[in-house]
Structure 1
Amino acid sequence: MERDQSTENNRREILRIATANFADKGFAGARVDEIAAATATSKRMIYYHFGSKEGLYRAVMREAYRGIRSAELDAGLEDMCPVAALERLTALTFDYHFHHPELVRLVMDENMRHGPHVGAVDEAKNDLVLPRTQALIDRGVAEGSFRAGLDPVDLHMTISALAFYFVSNRYTFRALFDVDLTSEAVAERRKAQVVETVRRYCLAL
C-alpha cells in the first residue's frame, strides 16, 4: 500500500512539474530530461509512467481539463434556480481561468498546433459540458427566465471566451494600456461585468 501511494505521489509530482514546463515552453520547447531533472525521478521512470513525451503531454492536458470540469460538477448547479446557476457557472469559469493560467497557456499552445492531442483527453469529462449546458438552458426556458433559442455551444463559448481572454491577454494589456490583469481587484471587477454580460445574453425579454 505504501509503495502504491509512493508511486502515485511520484506520478503526481511529475505531472505538476510537467504542467508548468509545457505551459511555459509549449509542447515543442519542453524537454523530458529537464522535467526529470526538476523532479525526484528519472527520465526512464517518466517513460515508464507515461510511455512517451506525447503520453506525458496528454496526461497533463487531461488533468488540466479535469480540474475545471470537476469544479463545474462540484458546484451544485442543479440545486440552484437557473439564473443563479448561470451566474455561478460564469463566475466559477472566470475564477478557474484566473487562478489556473497554465490551463490557458496549454490550450493556446494546443490550438497553435491545430489540436493534435486534445481529442485524447476523453477521461476529463469534457463530453458532459454540452449536455449539462443544455439542461441548464432547458430549465431556464421552462420557467420563463431564459429566452428561447439559446444554443449550448454558443453559451459555453461565450462564457469560456470571456474568461479565457482576461488571462491570455494579460501581458499585452499591461504593455498597451497599463492595466494589471493579474490584480485581484481588477479581476473581481471584470468578473462582475462578465457575469452580468452572460446573464443579460440569456435572460428572456
Structure 2
Amino acid sequence: MTDTEESRGDIPKQRDADRSREAILVAARDEFAAHGLGGARVERIAERAGLNKRLIYYYFENKDALFLAVLEDTYLNIREAERALHLTDLTPADAIRRLTEFTWHYYLEHPEFLSLLNSENLHRAGHLHDSSRVRELNSPLIITLGEILERGRIDGSLRGGIDPMQLYISIAGLSYFYLSNQYTLSSIFGHDLMKPKALQQRLSHICDVILGYVLRE
C-alpha cells in the first residue's frame, strides 16, 4: 500500500463526510468562542469533534480557513432562523417588533455568536473581508427589511426615509452592546444586568426605542 493510499484511509467515506465536517464546525465554534482565534488549538478541536486532526486540515487547510468557515456557518444559522420568522407575512410594525425581539433572544441564547464576532473584530474582519458567502447571506435580510419599511411607508404605519441597513445595525447594536458588555456594565452600575427582570426591562426598552423611531406619529 502506498503512502497516498494509506492516507486516504483516514478520509471518511462520502456518506460520512458531511457528518464529519459538521462535527468539526461545531467543535471549532466552541473552541473559538472560548479561546478566540489566537488561543484556539486544532488539537483541542479534533478532540472535541472526536476525529483525527489530519481530517481538519483535509477539509479546511488551516486554522484561519476553519475560523472563516465557522463564521460563515454562524451567519448562515442566524439568517435561516430569521427567515423562519416569515416577516413578510406580518404587518410592518409587527414585523419590526418580531425581528427586534428575535435578535435579542437569539443573542441571549447564542453567546458564542457574540464571542466569535468579538474575535473577528479584533482581527479587523480580515477573514470576512474576502467572504462573498457572508455578503450573500446578509443581503436578503436588508432587502426584506427594506420591503417591510416601504410597505409601512405606503400604508402610513411607518415614517419614510428609513435606511434598512442603519435600522438593522441599530436593532443589533442595542442588543449586542448590552450583552457583550454585561460584566463591565453590571460592575460599574452596581446591578446584575443579567437577572430575568433586568433582561425583560432591556428588551422592553429596545422595542420602545426601535418602534418609537419607525412608527409614524
Distance 2:174 2:58 in 1: 39
Distance 1:19 1:181 in 2: 26
Q: 1:155 to 1:50 in 2, by over 3 A?
A: same
Distance 1:150 1:11 in 2: 41
Q: Is the contact between residue 82 and residue 139 of structure 1 (CA under 8 Å) also seen in structure 2?
A: yes
2:119 equivalent in structure 1:
109
Distance 2:87 2:121 in 1: 30
Kindly state the Cα deviation for residue 133 of structure 1 after the two structures are TM-superposed: 1.5
Distance 1:21 1:181 in 2: 26
Distance 2:57 2:14 in 1: 18
1:144 equivalent in structure 2:
156
Kindly state the Cα deviation for residue 139 of structure 1 after the two structures are TM-superposed: 0.8
Given the alignment of the two structures, is residue 191 of structure 1 paired with residue 203 of structure 2, yes or no? yes
Kindly state the Cα deviation for residue 38 of structure 1 after the two structures are TM-superposed: 2.4
Distance 1:121 1:59 in 2: 12
- Select the structure with the greater relative contact order (CA < 8 A; seq sep ≥ 6): 1
Task: Describe the SS at the equivalent of 2:49.
Answer: coil
Unaligned runs of 5+ in 2: 1-11
Task: Name which of 5, 10, 15 aligns with 2:25.
Answer: 15
Kindly state the Cα deviation for residue 202 of structure 1 after the two structures are TM-superposed: 0.4
User: TM (normalized to structure 1)?
Assistant: 0.92
Larger Rg belongs to:
2
Q: Is the contact between residue 181 and residue 187 of structure 1 (CA under 8 Å) also seen in structure 2?
A: yes
Kindly state the Cα deviation for residue 4 of structure 1 after the two structures are TM-superposed: 4.3
Q: In the TM superposition, what whole-angstrom CA distance separates every residue of 1:115-160 from its partner, at most 9, and x where no partner exists?
A: 1112316156112122111111101111101111111121011101
Unaligned runs of 5+ in 1: none
Kindly state the Cα deviation for residue 63 of structure 1 after the two structures are TM-superposed: 1.3
Deviates more, 1:126-135 or 1:76-85: 126-135
Distance 1:181 1:6 in 2: 44
Given the alignment of the two structures, is residue 200 of structure 1 paired with residue 173 of structure 2, yes or no? no
Which portions of structure 1, spanning 4 or more consecutive aligned residues, are displaced by more than 4 angstroms?
2-5
Q: Is the contact between residue 101 and residue 203 of structure 2 (CA under 8 Å) also seen in structure 1?
A: yes
Kindly state the Cα deviation for residue 72 of structure 1 after the two structures are TM-superposed: 1.0
2:93 equivalent in structure 1:
83
Distance 2:58 2:191 in 1: 45
Deviates more, 1:127-136 or 1:139-148: 127-136
Deviates more, 1:5-14 or 1:79-88: 5-14
Aligned residues: 204
Q: Is the contact between residue 14 and residue 35 of structure 1 (CA under 8 Å) also seen in structure 2?
A: yes
Q: Is the contact between residue 147 and residue 202 of structure 1 (CA under 8 Å) also seen in structure 2?
A: yes
Q: Is the contact between residue 107 and residue 175 of structure 2 (CA under 8 Å) also seen in structure 1?
A: yes
* Letter of the structure 2 residue corresponding to residue 98 of structure 1: L
2:8 equivalent in structure 1:
none
Distance 1:10 1:188 in 2: 39
Q: 1:78 to 1:51 in 2, by over 3 A?
A: same
Given the alignment of the two structures, is residue 73 of structure 1 paired with residue 83 of structure 2, yes or no? yes
* Letter of the structure 2 residue corresponding to residue 103 of structure 1: F
Distance 2:26 2:214 in 1: 37
User: TM (normalized to structure 2)?
Assistant: 0.87
Q: Is the contact between residue 88 and residue 144 of structure 2 (CA under 8 Å) also seen in structure 1?
A: no
